[in-house]
A and B are shown apart, each in its own frame.
Chain A
């Protein structure tokens, strides 16, 4: 199955933000929790060559637009070849979110997700493959991690 990302929706303006916030940034009303699939389109990205304390350089950061317009900040292993508008998967590893380029398997995963439960086994395989790749790339310890 695809990673689920916790978010929240404003009952007034329908804006969705991730991670969830108690109040809408633009309206003084409580937000409603929603869950979004961890797939989205790259809005923009950068590679930071002088990362702040607690992070390793180069540090890849992307802004990814999820369903319902929520934009999500995440890390990645690489931005080489990445293009604005590209569809990426988002995986959580130790509560830190990473984007990954969608390979054939990932695309299949999205396809199966849309076509029902039959794809679940394939999804699980894709997911474990993705995690294996990420395991070698754990982020440097940071006190500011939440």
Chain B
């Protein structure tokens, strides 16, 4: 398969933004194109999870490409719930790998903060199985069910509270992050209960923002070494396991197979911590730590910025923020910046990065491996 490379990356500051979503996506896209020294791409992949209901806008690929000055560039929109950004990245990768286009812009974004929290929660919750939804299941509720099940797996509140502390600490050095302030373990463990045993500071915020990358067939310093997708049942009640996600395991397996190397080569990772227990599950599902060791590794500081395997240097979904379809691409942006020396204030020294994105309640997940070229 021909190589696919990342030529440029850009994103907006994540947070409560006053601009329209097309404005935010244009800002990210133009930044990525500028970084790639490219005026216009051959093809555009657009990711938004639900602009129909968040904004009342449809036909969003044309909406956003026309807005940013690319009305005559072919474009399509990709959606896999909260992993839509990663799905768009995959689609762009496939376009270049297949030789259909040489320079593809991938741009994702979401705008939600103009709506009341219960409304946002309800709209995001529409990605849940309708029967489970009819019992009031929201994303936090299902995450609460999973967090409790982790208790029998040796992971408790202390372990996933430490994930919040770590990721907030990381975000203090990221000017693009939604929440750039540190939190203490006590603050996390005493924050209000959302879905018992999950508390407010175990949950990502509602954020606006956009992120973009330019993929090319011509070599650059960052190669996409592997990319994989994994899926599972929409209904959480039909899962074989609640303490691991098949969708992540299969995505990781496929990504490692394509890359021709395993987790031992990964130097740092961006993992999908929409709820902080998910970072611990992802650590094990991607093989970055052995089964049953994620809690210990986190408490021991292995996954901190100065640990042997830094996780979520950006602050993760927890602190960088989670503008849904922007997130999967924002993770890639962070990895690219880290690999190319562009993460000032939080710069790591690594050659291989892993990005992991969860769609829905782990129904459609993605793992990507990026490698810095010698």
Which label, helix, strand, loop or mixed, suits the secondary structure of the B interface?
A: helix
Taking the closest CB of chain B, its distance from the CB of A55, in whole angstroms, is: 4
Contact among A17, A45, A55 for B238, CB-based, below 8 A:
A17
Taking the closest CB of chain B, its distance from the CB of A102, in whole angstroms, is: 20
Given contacts A44-B242, A45-B145, A84-B152, contact A52 B237 (CB under 8 A): no
B-side interface residues, number (CB < 8 Å): 39
A residues 6-56 near B (Cβ < 8 Å) are 15, 17-19, 25-26, 43-55
Q: A71-79, A105-113, A120-128, A129-137: which lies at the B interface?
A: A71-79
Taking the closest CB of chain B, its distance from the CB of A2, in whole angstroms, is: 20
Cα distance A81–B195 when bound, in Å? 16
Taking the closest CB of chain A, its distance from the CB of B65, in whole angstroms, is: 34
Are B134 and A145 in contact, with the CB atoms below 8 A?
Answer: yes
Contact among A71, A79, A96 for B196, CB-based, below 8 A:
A79
Taking the closest CB of chain B, its distance from the CB of A59, in whole angstroms, is: 5
Taking the closest CB of chain A, its distance from the CB of B250, in whole angstroms, is: 13
Are A61 and B145 in contact, with the CB atoms below 8 A?
Answer: yes
B69 interface hit (Cβ, 8 Å): no
Taking the closest CB of chain A, its distance from the CB of B239, in whole angstroms, is: 8
Query: Considering only CB atoms, which chain B residue lies closest to A71 in the complex?
Result: B237
B233 interface hit (Cβ, 8 Å): yes
Given contacts A25-B233, A79-B196, contact A48 B118 (CB under 8 A): no
Cα distance A44–B122 when bound, in Å? 22
Cα distance A51–B140 when bound, in Å? 10
Query: How many interface contacts (CB-CB < 8 Å) are there between A and B?
Result: 100
B182 interface hit (Cβ, 8 Å): no
Taking the closest CB of chain A, its distance from the CB of B185, in whole angstroms, is: 21
Cα distance A15–B236 when bound, in Å? 14
Residues of A within 8 A of B137 (CB): 61, 73
Residues of A within 8 A of B179 (CB): none
A104 interface hit (Cβ, 8 Å): no
Cβ proximity bits B108-126 to A, threshold 8 Å, 1 near / 0 not = 0000000001110110010
B103 interface hit (Cβ, 8 Å): no
Cα distance A145–B234 when bound, in Å? 19
Taking Cβ atoms with an 8 Å cutoff, the residues of B that contact A are: 117-119, 121-122, 125, 130-138, 140-141, 144-149, 151-152, 192-198, 233-238, 242
A61-B145, A96-B135 given; name 16 further pairs at CB < 8 Å. A15-B238, A47-B144, A48-B141, A49-B193, A49-B194, A50-B118, A52-B118, A52-B121, A52-B138, A54-B136, A61-B136, A63-B242, A73-B132, A73-B135, A79-B196, A145-B134
